[in-house]
């Protein structure tokens, strides 16, 4: 095949003169009369399936800084042969950076993520959904980790969601969720005992622009203690609370308190591992009565869970284990929900 630049045609030069004649077979140029710039932006980028990512360290003296950016588009007709659950019908953009100074003892991070669905078509009649939903997430965080002092991490997240009707160009959904997380931890030794003390505090508020009755404030706290020894003994315990304060005056606040503990020991040169763990959950919500004086809603319950685990390693490839679980639930408002359950499982493992 020969290319005739004067005609813009690729052809079979049967007479050998280097120029296309009417009787010679030619191959049409598929990109003839195509605006390549418009084709790349409107067809390839605007309608294609792709993911472009870039990550690099940023050289700054006495500072460790990393930066990344990612652009992704997946149309509604995309299907993965390897993973059918991969999300489709969205366009996403995210970027972020992380900075560490003073020998990684102080760190900062910042990231932004934005994506929208309903990516097919341009006009309203071409869209598959009646509204286009855009989600945005802003994350910020910092950490302090000085030798001999407690570690302290703080993070802030702001998530917003907005849906706009493609036909009327009006906003149908608009809400945002803001959360603050504080996570201190401290490791120290008391004689031969290693102690790990950690906590977590989460404050989250939800705001719905169009329906204020959906608004709520939620708080979660936890305090955990872990003890390890030179002997193969490990002990851990913790307490946590979760509260939900709805803005709707017809709904009552809820409170859950969780107590948990775990004891582990290894025998026979660590071939036999045993664990005993348990948790106790208390749920409370003020009762609401209906017109007949009966309980319409409310929580007043306790749940106790106990677990026993035993595993014996015959060798590096063969092991056998036994697990026993007991669960008891007491509902003081509706005794029909009360239950006690016992489960057991024996497992034999062979690695070849």
3-state secondary structure string across 13-24 = CCCCCCCCCCCC
Name the residue with tokens 């009787």: 23
- In this prediction, the residues of the chain whose per-residue pLDDT falls under 70 are 1, 7-9, 26-36, 39
Buried b or exposed e, range 166-204, using 16+ CB within 10 angstroms: beeeeeebebebebebebbeeeeeeeeeeeeebbbebeb
pLDDT confidence of residue 32 = 56
pLDDT of residue 283: 97
Q: What are φ and ψ of residue 9, in 5° steps?
A: -130, 140
Backbone angles phi, psi at 39, to 5 degrees: -65, -40
Using the Cα atoms of residue 160, residue 161, residue 167 and residue 168 in order, give the sign of their dihedral: negative
pTM value is 0.81
Give the residue among 121, 137, 132, 141 at the shortest CA–CA distance from 178.
Answer: 137
3-state secondary structure 51-79: EEEEEEEEEECCEEEEEEEEEEEECCCCC
* Closest CA relative to residue 51, chosen from 88, 98, 96: 88
Give the model's pLDDT for residue 8.
Answer: 66
The residues pairing with 174 across neighbouring beta strands, listed in sequence order, are 162
Residue 87 carries which DSSP code?
-
d(CA 272, CA 255): 40
CB 5 within 8 Å of CB 17: no
């Amino acid at each position: 095949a020969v290319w005739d630049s004067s005609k813009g045609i690729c052809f079979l030069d049967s007479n050998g003169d280097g120029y296309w004649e009417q009787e010679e077979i030619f191959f049409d140029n598929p990109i003839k009369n195509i605006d390549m710039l418009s084709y790349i932006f409107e067809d390839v980028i605007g309608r294609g399936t792709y993911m472009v990512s870039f990550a690099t360290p940023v050289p700054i003296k006495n500072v460790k800084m990393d930066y990344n950016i990612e652009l992704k588009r997946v149309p509604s007709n995309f299907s993965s042969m390897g993973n059918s659950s991969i999300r489709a019908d969205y366009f996403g953009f995210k970027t972020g950076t992380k900075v560490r100074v003073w020998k990684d003892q102080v760190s900062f991070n910042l990231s932004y993520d934005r994506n929208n669905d309903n990516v097919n078509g341009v006009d309203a009649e071409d869209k598959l959904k009646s509204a286009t939903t855009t989600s945005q997430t802003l994350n910020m965080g910092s950490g302090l980790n000085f030798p001999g002092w407690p570690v302290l991490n703080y993070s802030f997240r702001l998530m917003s969601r907005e849906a706009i009707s493609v036909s009327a160009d009006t906003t149908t959904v608009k809400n945002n969720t803001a959360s603050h997380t504080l996570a201190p931890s401290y490791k120290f030794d008391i004689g031969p005992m290693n102690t790990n003390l950690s906590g977590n505090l989460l404050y989250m508020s939800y705001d719905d622009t169009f329906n204020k009755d959906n608004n709520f404030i939620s708080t979660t706290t936890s305090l955990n203690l872990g003890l390890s020894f030179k002997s193969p003994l490990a002990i851990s315990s913790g307490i946590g609370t979760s509260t939900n304060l709805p803005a709707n005056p017809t709904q009552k606040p809820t409170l859950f308190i969780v107590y948990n503990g775990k004891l582990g020991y290894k025998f026979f040169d660590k071939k036999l591992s045993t664990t005993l763990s348990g948790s106790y959950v208390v749920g409370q919500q003020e009762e609401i009565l209906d017109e007949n004086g009966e309980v319409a809603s409310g929580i007043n319950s306790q749940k106790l869970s106990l677990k026993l685990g035993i595993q014996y390693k015959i060798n590096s490839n063969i092991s056998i284990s036994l697990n026993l679980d007991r669960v008891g639930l007491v509902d003081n408002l509706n005794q029909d929900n009360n239950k006690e359950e016992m489960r057991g499982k024996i497992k034999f493992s062979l690695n070849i």
